[in-house]
Amino acid sequence: MMAGKIHLSILLLLAALLLQALDTAAITDTDDLAGLQALKSIWKNTPPNWEGSDPCGLGWEGISCANTRVISITLATINLSGQLSSDIVKISELQTLDLSYNKEMTGPLPQAIGDMKKLTSLILVGCGFSGPIPPSIGSLQQLVHLSLNSNGFIGGIPRKIGKLSHLYWLDLADNKLTGTIPVSNGTSPGLDMLLKTKHFHFGGNQLSGEIPSRLFNSNMTLIHLLLENNKLTGDIPSTLGLVKALEVVRLDRNSLSGPENLNNLTHVQELFLATNKLTGVLPNLTGMDSLNYVDLSNNSFDATDVPPWFSSLQSLTSLIMEMTQVQGPLPSSMFGLPQLQTVKLRYNRINGTLTIGPNPSSQLQLIDLEDNFIDAFTQQAGLHFQIILVGNLICHEDETQSYCKFPEQSAPMYTTPLENCNPQPCTEDRVFSPSCKCAYPYMGTLFFRAPSFSNYGNSSIFAYLHKNMTASFKSHGLPIDSISLSNPTKNIDNYLLLSLQVFPSGQDHFNRTGISSIGFMLSNQTYKPPKEYGPFYFIANSYPYFIGLQASSKKSSSGIIIGAAAGGSVLVLLLLMAGVYAYRQRKRADTADRRNDPFAAWDSNANSGGVPQLKGAKSFSFEELKRITNNFSELNDVGSGGYGKVYRGTLPHGQLIAIKRAQQGSMQGGLEFKTEIELLSRVHHKNVVSLVGFCFDQGEQMLVYEFIANGTLKDSLSGKSGIRLDWMRRLKIALGAARGIQYLHDLANPPIIHRDIKSNNILLDERLNAKVADFGLSKPMNEPERGHVTTQVKGTMGYLDPEYYMTQQLTEKSDVYSFVVLLLELLTARSPIEKGKYIVREVKQAMDTGKEMYNLEGILDPIVASSPSPRSVERFVDVALRCVHESGESRPHMSEVVKEIENIMEAAGYNPNAESASTSASYEGHSKGSNHPYSNQSLFSYGGNYTSNSKFDST
């Protein structure tokens, strides 16, 4: 007995001694320890096991060591926050540093980073870093992988990066970099020296100047050249052809001219040159036999006949050439190219007969030839793809054919299917995995910058990616159970977006090591997607689910699991509340800032890009607009309103424009200004007013629109503009406006709710085509909120959807309501609220369906009451009243409204697609000095004050 006790205590003593010995014999190098401890002291949310003084021996999460030295720090997506201080330099053997997807990692990179001589991978994707990229990065001689994309870096690309002779991957995209692309000049280095680099990803910055012809040479091995969405000017250098390995060339959305010659780019598979200033003859792409995807849209080429290469490029999947002045008939053989998927040739001068066949590509999904001059179509039976011929001669004569209508929007849907089970609801934020378990997935978005395909409706291509990705993740030993991909969409950058969910194996959540290693797999490009997908990047959502849940993996009592989960959710709730509070505080601060600096809003939003992503809209300098308007002379002043003044001007190439200039010092509508630019630059439809450009220079906010000759519908209805709107014209205006709104709801990307449909915001061009204007209050319906948005009620009293007013839930049906008020205005020529009477109620009360014109003669505008087609007026009233249904759900969709108005017009013997013959010239007495459309004060948003409708007092 006694002996036994002694024995035990000796054992315990020994064990204690041993533990102590282990502790003192820490294996981690002291400098590395000092470095990590310094970082730990300034970072928040470091892994909880960062305790003790032996990171290597104790296995700190995210740290890997070789013997005593720390060689890798990978902490992707762990909600880390703080700055990267020069303490990192103490960890002098570090080879890999990945802090990606920690949005709260902010501040500049330390200059001392150049001392980390062993660094091979510096990966800081999707963080909040700012300031200039330190030139000392050029001293990191071993660097192979440099990814600084999706941060807020400013300044130029350091020319010393040219000294990184081992660099393979250089991604600086989606920052705020300025200046020119540096090339070597005998004494200083430049990017042309990067002979081993395969990836130049510089898109989404503000790089300017010419693309130096010296940038390219025949010793380079570059395969992906991505310069899209910058401010580059000058000719596309012909030296580009020297780089034989090039596969992807994206130069779109710059101001480039040329090009002289492109057909020595024989290996290029994806060529994006859209939205530049290319002039002269169309590039000759003959011989570019590897070309899959080509987009030359939106340039200023000379009118050119359909080139022979349309039918000879055997690898072509996607031919996108909108607004390029291509003319003549399309050869039927082009549709037989074996891989062809998409042909988009909108807004050209294609004429003659469209013949598809005899054996069109089996992969074809869309032929969009909207607004050309095609007059006949030999249709084959059983075509399996969409053809759009809206706006062609053939549709002016007979618009009943399906190809004369815009297709119902059918977003290509793909979601990784479940493996043999039915979907089940999951508790908390857990998601049902493809392998039929509820768990907290790691989520984010994959952005493919230049896929070679465009048939997103073909799910096999996504199934293939899914299979490839699952196999790759598993072969790298990641703790994953399954992967789900969903929602393929194209964004305004023409990138393919896919939502990614990665599910944990064995438990319902990942630990930090699991998360960071998946993050690293994607941030470091360890995962390589199939070749068709081209270059990609990934942005992760934050992953809050390791908090408080770790206990649950140790003990198995369900009580503890539930308790921990509940604790976790309380914590999440508290965090959320703190977040909301912080957000409110910040918003308050922002608002205060904006009062001092109207353009703070453009810069403050580092993550959303700050400066809006624009498609085709030009940024004007103040000086330019000053010149165009003759120093904003009174003579060019065409109206004014609460927002400021509106001036007419003419651009150098003759286009008439209207310039809406915000009042100086007036911060009103600052945010609306930005919204309007972003939205307008993406919408292109003949019934929507188009934005030509904007100016945010020298403290000014100006919007530049196409000039719409006949002012607002309001002015015409009130007699102010001197245009007589007979019943047929009113129907046509109603139809145009309806089509414009339908376009916003169904075809714009993202879909848009206008939120301020009213007669003041419908403009009439010289042919009295209606154009929807003024997007100051509009809301894009982004993916997560598709369906409805909860938002502060804004709009104009009288037009406001009562359901939206009461629930604050904005849906597209709110626009339907406002549109109907507009229909009633067309019928009665009265303002929605006049002398305290509400037009909707007035019409409903007066109505007697048993009588001719529903007994509404007393309320109808005399021009309408004397319509030659009383039945059409009745049907019009029917449509209107169906749309003012109190419940949004019972109101028809805008596309149905469009159809109904078309039917009414046809029944009354009017062609809904006919151009009005008369132009404004036939109307004399066009009153001078009438308020110009753009002068309306719609940017006065009614943020809660609905008492009066000052906009209708003017008459």
Q: Which of residues 694-753 bind ligand NAG (CB under 6 A)?
A: none
Q: Are 778 and 676 in contact (CB under 8 A)?
A: yes
- Kindly state the smallest distance separating residue 327's Cβ from ligand NAG, in Å: 4
Amino acid at 639: G
Per CB under 6 A, which region of 170-178, 454-462, 545-553, 823-831 contacts ligand NAG?
454-462
Q: Which of residues 320-339 bind ligand NAG (CB under 6 A)?
A: 327-328
Per CB under 6 A, which region of 47-55, 283-291, 681-689, 725-733 contacts ligand NAG?
283-291
3-class DSSP state of 102:
coil
Residue 263 as a binder of ligand NAG (CB under 6 A): the answer is yes
How far, in Å, are 293, 758, 870 from residue 862 at the CA level? 57, 21, 12
Cα separation, 670 vs 679, in Å, equals 15
Can you say how many angstroms the Cα of residue 468 is from the centroid of all Cα atoms in its chain? 27
Q: How is residue 788 annotated by DSSP?
A: -
Q: Which of 351, 516, 742, 872 binds ligand NAG (CB under 6 A)?
A: 351
What is the CA angle 118-120-123, rounded to 5?
A: 125
- Walk across the sheet containing 255-257 and list its strands: 208-210, 231-235, 255-257
Q: Which of 219, 284, 608, 782 binds ligand NAG (CB under 6 A)?
A: 284
Active site residue 815: no
Please choose, from the candidates 410, 403, 311, the residue with its C-alpha nearest in 3D space to the C-alpha of residue 361. 311
- Kindly state the smallest distance separating residue 221's Cβ from ligand NAG, in Å: 25
Q: Which x/- pattern, by CB under 6 A, does the window 456-485 give for ligand NAG?
A: --x-xx------------------------
Closer to ligand NAG by CB, 362 or 633: give it: 362
Q: Which x/- pattern, by CB under 6 A, does the window 396-435 give for ligand NAG?
A: ----------------------------------------
Phi, psi of 825 (to 5 degrees): -65, -40
- Kindly state the smallest distance separating residue 413's Cβ from ligand NAG, in Å: 15
- Kindly state the smallest distance separating residue 375's Cβ from ligand NAG, in Å: 7
Asked if the bond preceding 750 is cis, omega within 30° of 0, the reply is yes
Q: How crowded is residue 581: how many other Cβ atoms within 10 Å of its Cβ? A: 10
Closer to ligand NAG by CB, 293 or 694: give it: 293
Residue 352 as a binder of ligand NAG (CB under 6 A): the answer is yes
- Kindly state the smallest distance separating residue 459's Cβ from ligand NAG, in Å: 8
Residue 287 as a binder of ligand NAG (CB under 6 A): the answer is yes
- Kindly state the smallest distance separating residue 420's Cβ from ligand NAG, in Å: 24
Cα separation, 548 vs 570, in Å, equals 10
Per CB under 6 A, which region of 162-170, 455-463, 587-595, 841-849 contacts ligand NAG?
455-463
Closer to ligand NAG by CB, 362 or 849: give it: 362
Q: Which of residues 3-22 bind ligand NAG (CB under 6 A)?
A: none
Amino acid at 929: G
Amino acid at 183: V
Residues 501, 502, 505, 511, Cα dihedral to 10°: -110
Catalytic residue among 174, 481, 493, 756: 756
Closer to ligand NAG by CB, 455 or 668: give it: 455
Cα separation, 70 vs 57, in Å, equals 11
Q: Which of residues 529-588 bind ligand NAG (CB under 6 A)?
A: none
Closer to ligand NAG by CB, 372 or 513: give it: 372
- Kindly state the smallest distance separating residue 355's Cβ from ligand NAG, in Å: 13
**Conformation bin of residue 67: beta by default, left when phi > 0, alpha when psi is -120 to 50:** left
Buried b (16+ CB within 10 A) or exposed e, 520-557: bbbbbbebebeeebbbbbbbbeebbbbbbbbebeeeee
Q: Are 575 and 544 in contact (CB under 8 A)?
A: yes
Q: How crowded is residue 410: how many other Cβ atoms within 10 Å of its Cβ? A: 8
Closer to ligand NAG by CB, 292 or 869: give it: 292
Six-digit token string for 856: 């509404």
Per CB under 6 A, which region of 43-51, 453-461, 566-574, 947-955 contacts ligand NAG?
453-461
Closer to ligand NAG by CB, 281 or 589: give it: 281
Cα separation, 151 vs 129, in Å, equals 5
Q: Which x/- pattern, by CB under 6 A, does the window 354-393 give for ligand NAG?
A: --------xx------------------------------
Cα separation, 388 vs 176, in Å, equals 39
Q: How many helices and strands, by DSSP H and E, does the chain display?
A: 19, 49
Residue 348 as a binder of ligand NAG (CB under 6 A): the answer is no
Q: How many binding residues for ligand NAG (CB under 6 A)? A: 15
Cα separation, 827 vs 825, in Å, equals 5
Closer to ligand NAG by CB, 49 or 304: give it: 304
Closer to ligand NAG by CB, 132 or 328: give it: 328
Closer to ligand NAG by CB, 282 or 565: give it: 282
Per CB under 6 A, which region of 67-75, 250-258, 280-288, 848-856 contacts ligand NAG?
280-288
Helix (H) or strand (E) holding 574: helix 558-596
The count of residues in the chain is 955
- Kindly state the smallest distance separating residue 451's Cβ from ligand NAG, in Å: 11
Residue 455 as a binder of ligand NAG (CB under 6 A): the answer is yes
Six-digit token string for 912: 């809904």
Instruction: Name the site residues for ligand NAG (rule: CB under 6 A).
Output: 263, 284, 286-287, 327-328, 349, 351-352, 362-363, 455, 458, 460-461
Which residues form the catalytic set?
Answer: 756
